[in-house]
Amino acid sequence: MKKLLSLFVTAFLPVLTFAQDGGLDQKIDYYFGQATGWFVGLIFYQIPFTDDIKVFWVLFPLILGALYFTIIFKFPGLRLFHIAVNTVRGKYEDVEEMPSDLNIVDGDEPDTIRIEGAHGEVNHFQALTAALSATVGLGNIAGVAVAIAIGGPGATFWMILAGLLGMSSKFVECTLGVRFREVDENGRVYGGPMYYLSKGLSAKNMAGLGKVLATLFAIMCVGGSFGGGNMFQSNQAAEIFLTSAGIESAYGGTVFGIILAILVGIVILGGIQRIASVTEKIVPFMAVIYVGAALIIIFMNAEHVPAAFSAIFNGAFTGAGIAGGAIGVLIQGFRRAAFSNEAGIGSAAIAHAAVKTKHAASEGIVALLEPFIDTVVICTMTALVIVIYNIEGAFAYGDAGGNAVINGVGTLSGVGLTNHIFESAIPHFSIALTIAVVLFAFSTMISWSYYGMQSWTYLFGKSDRNEKIYKILFCLFVVVGAASKMGSVLDFSDAMIFAMMVPNMIGLFILAPYVKEELSKYLAAIKGK
């Protein structure tokens, strides 16, 4: 393994040198874009309804799927919310240890997903934070600012609604992730769409389709983990850190990337248990810092809160001055929610599959909290702060590029707009925001490393050697991402993340009856305890 690591380092050092000089990365970006542009264009193709209204086609299966699951499972986000909270709190832990009245066949309980003697690797809270760490990030800070700048306050309303619908998709995919997981002789868990697509569809006499869909998902997940889940995160973290610190060194990105890669490597080499132990501390810390600051600003401007909510509600149905009107506002809200919480993508099911439980639905119910926390709480906090700041018209809504022109400051967009608004209310908040962005990026990377590693081992075989190869590659890409600016590579990797939705959604529709079975079992178990 040392020889392998040395080989990889030797191979990548020239790449980093040229990338930092601004030569090789630009050439790679150009030729890679030429080769993969068709795929990016396909995944992010926008259906033109009018001259002003264009909708990403990937939003339709995500939103319609979420609506379908919400209806057939009778609004699980609302109906099962208190059970989700109680499960995370450990109120139903005794259910896991209750003697089963089910049939025992060869020492196994066939009606439970637990392999006796192998309970999983993490608890409910750790699985939740591990999955949340992959979704809570720059989208909550920068993406929401862009959505509000384009779609106005009303985008917030539709963002919240989409988040509530997304809770149903998360419930379904994470229940299936536990139902069809595999546990090896060492108690190591392997799960996610790769397994419920292959095993679940095989059980329905569609083994060929299941194998194809599982393989496609795994390939896309590996690509997405190196790009959107890694290089993009390290690139943005390096940029905001170096800017905030006033570092202009030509090799600042490389040095930052090496340090970050070492920290990432220390965590991911320990597997899901170490990842979970880190995320269960980082995620609440990040949330408290960011949401706490947002609440301070809201309370400081309490007199504007009624007007802000009025603007959010009215703007959702009027869209005056916004491209596409009310429909344009709706699109911006749903787009931000879908691209933020990843409900329906299938990635979260990989993390949740490692939970310690014998009731698959218990973790599906826990997972429905993710879109609520990510979109309904954190994204809404960002949106509300922006709307309050602009209550007296500091900038005009409706800019197609998501820019805000603020007199005396200039044109701001994304994280720059959010940072300015927070900074104007809380002096020196930019320091805290820099820390938050770096932590967001770090937590996203370690979670996506687990997603990619699970997909890698599905494709190439479950072994310590294959796991180590993937982890070394992942750490090297951390450095490359921090040192380079390769837009086409990152566009392609983001497209792969959202392409994961296609095989995943097909599987979710077919396998939904299994989720009904698991939900009935779990509700009966906690009712009879």
Question: pLDDT band at residue 120, thresholds of 50, 70 and 90?
Answer: low
Beta bridge partners of 105: 108
Question: CA–CA separation, 196 vs 412, rounded Å?
Answer: 44
Distance between CA 344 and CA 169 in Å, rounded?
5
**Digit-coded pLDDT (tens) for 168-223:** 999 999 999 999 988 877 777 888 999 999 999 999 999 999 999 999 999 999 98
Report the length, in residues, of the chain: 529
Give phi and psi for 4, each to the nearest 5: -65, -45
Say yes or no to pLDDT of 116 above 80. Answer: no
User: CA 463, CA 126: separation in Å to the nearest integer?
Assistant: 24
pLDDT for 117: 41
CB 293 within 8 A of CB 439: no
The three-class DSSP label of residue 403 is strand
Q: How many domains does the chain have?
A: 1
From CA 215, how far away is CA 515, in angstroms rounded? 22
Which two three-digit tokens encode residue 178? 């536990």
Q: Write down the pLDDT at residue 17.
A: 52
Predicted model pTM = 0.82
Rounded Cα distance between 189 and 528, Å, is 29
Partners of residue 411 on adjacent β-strands: 405
> What residues does 406 pair with on adjacent strands?
410
Q: Is the pLDDT of residue 63 over 70?
A: yes
DSSP track, 427-474: TTHHHHHHHHHHHHHHHHHHHHHHHHHHHHHHHH-S-HHHHHHHHHHH
Angstrom distances, CA of residue 496 to CA of 17, 38, 43, 125: 28, 12, 8, 28
Domain hosting residue 379, numbered range: 2-527
Band of the pLDDT at 271, cuts 50, 70, 90? low
Q: What is the CATH number of the domain that holds 124?
A: 1.20.1740.10
CA 466 from chain centre, in angstroms, equals: 25
Query: Rounded to an integer, what distance in angstroms lies between the CA atom of residue 503 and that of residue 212?
Result: 9
pLDDT digits (tens, 9 = 90+) for 317-366: 876 556 556 666 777 777 777 777 788 889 889 988 888 888 888 989 99
Under DSSP, is residue 65 helix (H, G, I), strand (E, B) or coil? helix
